Structure 1
Amino acid sequence: MKNKALKSAAVLGTVALAGLLLAACNNKSSKDAASDKNVTVYVEEQYKAYMTKAAEKFEKESGSKVTIKTGDQLTGLDNLSLDNQSGKAPDVMMAPYDRVGSLGTDGQLSEVTLNKDSKTDDTTKALVTTSDKVYGAPAVIETLVMYYNKDLISKAPTTFAEVEELAKDSKYNFDGEAGKTTAFLADWTNFYYAYGLLAGNGGYVFGKDGKDPKDIGLANEGSIKGIEYAKSWYEKWPKGLQDTEGASNLIQTQFTSGKTAAMIDGPWKASALKDAKVNYGVATIPTLADGKEYQAFGGGKAWVIPAGSKNPDAAQKFIDFLTTTDQQKEFYDATNEVPANTEARAYAEGKNDELTSAVIKQFKSAQPMPNISEMSAVWDPAKNMLFDAVSSKKDAKTAADEAVKLIKETIDQKFGNK
């Protein structure tokens, strides 16, 4: 009887232990299931107010918990390699389109699925696609526009021929440098700003819509024509415009002090002009000779999922939510940044905001900035090409040929085995 009692006790103990283990496993599974739905999103401080509202709505709809972290966008992307390895990477963050492709091919981002509700167009889809793989969900579109001072001119010039006439007005003469004008200014030693001239005349960075680094079009006939047109303006502009580091500040100072009627810059410049209380307007960039469009780079930002995300499925659901028409409208209302979602973009255009309308119209002629890793080899040689040509250090053809040669050599050295 004693042995039977001991055996029964042992069986009961085993059953009890099994029950405890099962309960523990169930609790663990519940916790794991809950944590699998959690999302950490990293954004700049300027987006925190929008993200707080969006997170609250997403949490109610999905049952997920969203944790918001803030910091500098580019610093976060620069740290992504280490954060992915250490397990500190967020589940969702924002990245400029020109970083999406290179980070994706370097293994720092997960592929994403573009939800049909995101209403992506061909240009924005191209900006997040590399080697037929999609590494981001388009959020914002950006491109260069023309700002003009309404106290100096009643409307924006629509052709560069009109801009050239404006430069003949003596009221825009630059003090201290005879024969120099500040009627119109643009930072055309900066390749990002000058590219529209080259592309509008038939130049390009890489062939096959920016995907073929073996085909470089920065020294073709169209590019040379664009560079030479830039040089014709540098002959009219103050010497300070040739300062590749200080030109941007000089342009802003001249515009805000009422000495410049028109300038080319991006939508990010509007806040500084508002702070300076300039009575400014915004329009598309004037057309080039023969009615050709100024084909500036098309850019902006996308929502991305770092490769080290602990909850990639929940992250995908969150970016699906963020790119819906309703959320893109909310994003525009909170930030005044133009939505990538085409339905929300139409909503934004309906607000009759000059900056929004100009960006949307200019974006139609914009060229997607190449997002392949080889683009990193372009910026410095292209900057030197422009400076050497507009400063008359070299003729345009020589400067362009040397830049293309250096770009090809750098690509061969850095990416030759790809």
Structure 2
Amino acid sequence: MVKKRLPLLFVLILSLSMVLVACGPDREGKTKDGGTSDDSSEVEKPEKLLVWADENKAEGIKDAVKAFEEKHGIKIKVKELEMASKQKEQLRLDGPAGTGPDVLTLPHDQIGLLAKEGLLAPIDVKQSVLDIYTDSSIDAVTYEGDVYGVPKATETPVLFYNKELLKEAPKTFEELYTFSKKFTKDGKYGFLALWDNYYFAHGILASYGAYVFENNDGTLDTSSIGLNNEGAIKGAKFIEKWYDEGLFPQGIVGENGGSALTGLFEGGKAAATMQGPWAVQGMKDAGIDFGVSPMPKLPNGEYAKTFVGVKSWNVSSYSEHKEWATKLIVWLANEKNSKERFKIVNEIPPVKSLINDPVIEDNPVAKAVAIQSQRGVPMPNIPEMGKVWEPMATSLQLIVTDKQEPEDALNNAVESIKTKIKANNN
């Protein structure tokens, strides 16, 4: 009797094992290191994919798109759409309607909000893919432990100077301050910065010890805000000094401050300024013979920890072809295609191997931005960051116009931020 039951028992065990194997993760094309399989036969191939590229930037991926089409036999349609706000707004409409993109491009500080809204899909790629990018750029596209895109470009403020007025970049802010004290007169200024704007002021405040939200092993704690701590107050006093001593004109405070600052530098009235790579074309058009360097060292011995912005390729959660959309963004942002894109659109890729590549090394702006990006910190990409900008701008403007002491202004800003976050979460 026992001998007759053994074959049946063996068949039952074997059948159960086959069911378990069939239900395992390998059926989804996963690899041991958490990436997706390169075997495209496991995933149905779409006839086409729709990509939203940034305005006037599609030319930078033209060859990469053509190569992908030829390699995989998939038609890629590229549509240009303004990145800073239009893509986010349009995705909310076109995604649910089924007419949205498979791939889009976003500034990283929008990732948390759109992921929370369910508009973005986390991507599943091999660790070896992520390892080609700088750590800060991967941090920038990571939200609540999931990676929501691959980095394509990085930007951060650096120091630009007019070579006719300042022969070389100061190494320290003490040098820049001394120069400004001597140079600033008769409508000319030694150095200008939009330090009433928190985006630019953060580089100073953070270097003295301020932080937006406390970082606990990769998770940002919105209940712990460090914008009114001892370091933040010291940084604010450093900023205040430049305004109190007349080294910055009153006209660069407030809503029109940016255009006033640009006019002074491009008009040859300012020797140096803190600006981002987006300002380069205007300087060239104005005929300014400019130099560029990373930000100088502060009096406390620290470099300015400027906000780093990362632009990324992302996958829509409404895409019916997420695996192929992921393959496409990895292709677009690989080392070779990132390098070629930089040559065309001049946006610096946060690819480790390219930082010392001649294509970056021989480009003064790219080199300065690459170095400064490693010293800076990514802007928080969580939705709560949207509640920070206005209160901090208000507090900084009160400080630089001498209407409130730094400690009081920053305390009020933090209280306002906490109130806004609490109201939003209720």
Shorter-normalised TM range = 0.7 to 0.9
Q: Tell me the number of residue pairs that the alignment of Structure 1 and Structure 2 aligns.
A: 377
What's the CA shift string for 1:153-183, capped at 9, x where partnerless?
Answer: 110111111111111224x3143xxxxx621
| Counterpart residue identity of residue 264, structure 1 | M
Give the C-alpha shift of residue 331 in structure 1: 1.1
Q: Write the deviation string for residues 292-311 of structure 1: whole angstroms up to 9, x where unpaired.
A: 11000111200001111132
- CA distance in 2 between counterparts of 1:59 and 1:399 reads 56
| Alignment partners' CA distance in 1, 2:176 and 2:356 | 30
Partner of 1:306: 316
Cα offset, 1:406, TM superposition: 0.7
**Partners of 2:278 and 2:425 in 1: CA distance:** 33
> What corresponds to 2:53 in structure 1?
43
Whether 1:81 and 2:92 are equivalent positions in the alignment is: yes
- The reply on whether 1:284 has 2:291 as its aligned counterpart is no
Structure 1 pair 114–387 and aligned structure 2 pair: CA distance change class (3 A): farther
Are the aligned partners of 1:205 and 1:216 in contact in 2 as well (CA < 8 Å)?
yes
Q: What is the TM-score when the length of structure 1 is the normalising length?
A: 0.87
Is 1:189 the counterpart of 2:201? The answer is no
What is the percent sequence identity of the aligned residues?
32
For 2:400 and 2:249, the matched residues in 1 are separated by 12
The answer to whether 1:135 aligns with 2:135 is no
Indicate how the Cα distance of structure 1 residues 354 and 380 shifts in structure 2: closer, same or farther if over 3 A, else same. same
- The answer as to whether partners of 1:338 and 1:345 remain within 8 angstroms in 2 is no
Measured against aligned partners, the alpha-carbon deviations of 1:260-297 in whole angstroms (never above 9, x if no partner) come to: 11000101111111111100011011111131110001
Cα separation, 1, equivalents of 2:405 and 2:75: 60
Match of 1:10 in 2: none
Q: What is the match of residue 27 of structure 1?
A: none
Cα drift, residue 37 of structure 1: 4.6
CA distance in 2, matches of 1:371, 1:230: 26
| 3-state DSSP of counterpart to 2:355 | helix
Classify 1:221/1:94 alpha carbon distance in 2 versus 1 (closer, same or farther; 3 Å): same
Match of 1:173 among 174, 185, 188: 185
**SS of residue in 1 equivalent to 2:409:** helix
Match of 2:121 in 1: 110
Counterparts of 2:89 and 2:190, CA distance in 1: 39
Candidates 222, 233, 236, aligned match of 1:224: 233
Q: Aligned Cα RMSD in Å?
A: 1.6
The answer as to 2:212 corresponding to 1:200 is no
CA–CA separation in structure 2 for the residues paired with 1:212 and 1:348: 40
How far is 1:334 from its partner? 1.2
CA contact (8 A) 1:206 1:212 kept: yes
Measured at CA, do residues 69 and 33 of structure 1 come closer, stay the same or move farther in structure 2, by a change above 3 Å? same
Give the SS at the match of 2:308.
strand
Residues 234-313 of structure 1: pairs in structure 2 closer than 5 A: 234-235=243-244, 236=246, 237-242=248-253, 244-313=254-323
- 1:56 equivalent in structure 2: 66
Distance across 2 between alignment mates of 1:349 and 1:196: 27
Q: CA deviation at 1:79?
A: 2.0
Residue 33 (structure 1) shift: 5.2
Pair member with larger Rg: 1
Q: In 1, Cα distance between the equivalents of 2:137 and 2:320?
A: 27
Taking the aligned partners of 2:400 and 2:360, their CA distance within structure 1 comes to 41
Q: 1:255 to 1:346 in 2, by over 3 A?
A: same
Distance across 2 between alignment mates of 1:189 and 1:173? 22
Give the 4+ runs in structure 1 shifted more than 3 A.
Answer: 348-351
Report the AA paired with residue 273 of structure 1: M
Partner Cα separation in structure 2 for residue 287 and residue 111 of structure 1: 38
Cα distance, 1:226 vs structure 2: 0.9
Amino acid in the other structure paired with 2:391: P
Deviation at 1:120, TM superposition (A): 2.1
Q: Tell me the equivalent position of 2:15.
A: none
- Provide closer, same or farther for how the CA distance between residues 33 and 207 of structure 1 changes in structure 2, counting only shifts above 3 A: closer
Task: Tell me how far 1:348 sits from its aligned partner.
Answer: 5.5
The CA distance in 2 between the partners of 1:259 and 1:336, in whole Å, is 27
- How far 1:55 sits from its partner (Å)? 1.1
Relative to the length of structure 2, the TM-score reads 0.85
Query: 1:350 & 1:121 partners in 2: Cα distance?
Result: 15
Moved more, 264-273 or 228-237: 228-237
**1: CA distance, partners of 2:422 / 2:148:** 25
Contact 1:90 1:306 in 2 (8 A): yes
Post-superposition offset of 1:346 = 3.1
Paired residue secondary structure (1:303): strand
Counterpart residue identity of residue 373, structure 2: F
2:14 aligns with none
Indicate whether 1:91 and 2:108 are aligned.
no
Is the Cα–Cα contact under 8 Å of residues 174 and 238 in structure 1 kept in the other structure? no
Hey, what's the Cα distance between the residues in 2 that align with 1:174 and 1:127? 44
Whichever residue aligns with residue 74 of structure 2, its letter is: S
CA distance in 1, matches of 2:81, 2:301: 43
Mapped contact 2:65–2:332 kept (Cα < 8 A): no
Q: Alpha-carbon deviation of 1:51?
A: 2.3
Q: Which structure is higher in helix share? A: 1
